């Protein structure tokens, strides 16, 4: 039987790339997002759900878990607000709810299924801005930094049950959303040792590594996918 993985943010560019790579490697991918604008052929199941609706999200996750063992969880859903902190209208509740609280909730519901299955892997998508800071993304960085700390803490608690918890930490990624800021992306590419920014498939490869057997003895770690733009501990 193929391994089952829950992927949030599955309808986005990065989520779609992750879903495709995992499906190609034999995973049964259950995608969660607000809506699915296309057929999403790489997904074995599509769950339309607002992850900021805590009771609704809890119920949706329980339905997924009831369908069989879960071997992987990828918390990829994210939302950002770009601008100087003191000049922005507050959207703090939304940023924290999507980037931090929903991932914590998913782990609380799903990890017990992994333990029952004899093990599993959680991959949280954070951001290099969470580790190095980023002007213009103060609250986003704070929420992702909280998720990074949660990952390390949870890894210490559940490792004894064969459950691993790791972070994938992207730098700038070229997506349809970032295309509107092409000049900024070009400047970041010029600063990057590898002279480009990430593509969605680069993030997918790191996620697949943490889900797969090659990282069987790796937990509580953060892998930066930034081409060397951000080199921080």
Active site (catalytic) residues:
140
CA distance 32 to 6: 7
Neighbours of 210 (CB within 10 A): 23
What string of DSSP letters covers 19-72? HHHHHHTT-EEEEEES--SS--TT-SEEEE--TT-HHHHHHHHHHHHHTS---E
Q: How far is CA 72 from CA 164, 166, 183, 198, in A?
A: 10, 11, 37, 24
CA distance 233 to 230: 9
């Amino acid at each position: 039987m193929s391994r089952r993985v829950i992927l949030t943010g599955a309808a986005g560019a990065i989520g779609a790339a992750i879903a495709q790579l995992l499906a190609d490697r034999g995973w049964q991918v259950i995608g969660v997002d607000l809506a699915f604008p296309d057929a999403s052929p790489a997904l074995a199941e599509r769950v339309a759900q607002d992850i900021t609706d805590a009771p609704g999200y809890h119920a949706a996750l329980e339905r997924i878990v009831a369908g069989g063992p879960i071997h992987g969880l990828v918390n990829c859903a994210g939302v950002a607000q770009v601008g100087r902190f003191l000049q922005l209208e507050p959207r703090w509740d939304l940023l924290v709810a999507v980037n931090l609280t929903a991932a914590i909730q998913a782990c609380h519901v799903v990890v017990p299924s992994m333990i029952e299955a004899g093990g599993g892997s959680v991959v949280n998508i954070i951001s290099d801005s969470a580790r190095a800071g980023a002007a213009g993304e103060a609250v986003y960085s704070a929420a992702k930094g909280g998720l990074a700390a949660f990952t390390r803490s949870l890894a210490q608690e559940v490792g004894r049950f064969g459950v691993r918890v790791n972070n994938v930490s992207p730098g700038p990624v070229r997506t349809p959303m970032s295309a509107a800021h092409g000049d900024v992306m070009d400047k970041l590419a010029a600063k990057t040792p590898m002279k480009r920014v990430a593509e969605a498939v680069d993030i997918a490869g790191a996620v697949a590594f943490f889900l797969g057997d090659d990282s069987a003895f790796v937990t509580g770690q953060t892998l930066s996918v930034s081409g060397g733009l951000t080199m921080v501990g």
